Amino acid sequence: MQIIATLATDRYFSCMKVLPDSTILPRLLGSLQHLSWDEAARRARRIRLVLTDNDGVLTDTGVYYGPDGELFKRYSIRDGMGMERLGLLGIETGIITGEESPNLKRRAEKLKLKHLHLGVKDKIATLTRIRRETGLSPEEIAYIGDDVNDLGIMDIIGERGFTAAPADAMPQIHDLAQYICSWRGGNGAFRDFAEAVITLRLIRE
């Protein structure tokens, strides 16, 4: 495999900071479906924003409750590093979730995420608002989800963008996603997808 040279004329790489070659995986951790490597690579090079669900992707779907409600959820430090590495390529990360979790809000603040959408009932409407606010087209957006409430937004983004599912996502999501992570939700699934985007952008099969 060969590292792809950066083209000065490519506006998506114009502000790119270099990731050391030794940190770039030579192959995908998970697997592609519905897309060839070349098509997936073309899509990955257009991405400027990766959106993710929270429960089931950034967490393992478990939650600890006490008398006053939610106590805490477990997050993977590796996912945070994945967001940081995407940022070095000029790719932002955002979270869309139906939850109103104070723990997630603090986690997003720590990661300095600009796009945090809590209490979402209609993810497609939220996607439309994000596009309006950022000026991004669907082909510049990627999404990773795990359950049936992600089907609509993944169907829209998957037409020209890039979609993924954790290893333990619901079967309906597995059938639709274009990339299947080898890691489970809450155990590095987002990092797996982030590394796939990086590898597809920078490595020629």
| Residue 164 dihedral angles phi and psi, to the nearest 5° | -145, 165
- Torsion sign over Cα 76, 78, 81, 85: negative
Confidence at residue 48, expressed as pLDDT on a 0 to 100 scale = 97
Nearest Cα to Cα of residue 117 among 42, 199, 53:
53
* 100 exposure class (CB count in 10 Å sphere: 0-12, 13-18, 19+): exposed
pTM exceeding the 0.75 threshold for the entire prediction = yes
Query: Any alpha helices (H) in 47-101, and if so which ranges?
Result: 77-88
Per-residue pLDDT, 11: 41
Query: Any idea where the domains of the chain sit in the sequence?
Result: 28-62+69-204
Specify the pLDDT at position 70.
62
Paired with 98 in beta bridges are: none
Residue 13: per-residue pLDDT? 45
pLDDT at 15: 42
Q: How far apart are the first and last CA of the chain?
A: 5
Give me the residues of the chain with pLDDT under 50, please.
1-16
The predicted pLDDT at position 2 comes to 45
What's the Rg (C-alpha) of the chain? 16
Residue of 199, 194, 151 lying closest to 175 (CA atoms): 151
How far is 81 from 147, CA to CA, in rounded Å?
Answer: 24
Determine contact, residues 198/19, Cβ cutoff 8 Å. Answer: yes
The CATH number that domain 28-62+69-204 falls under is 3.40.50.1000
Contact 139, 160 (CB under 8 A): yes
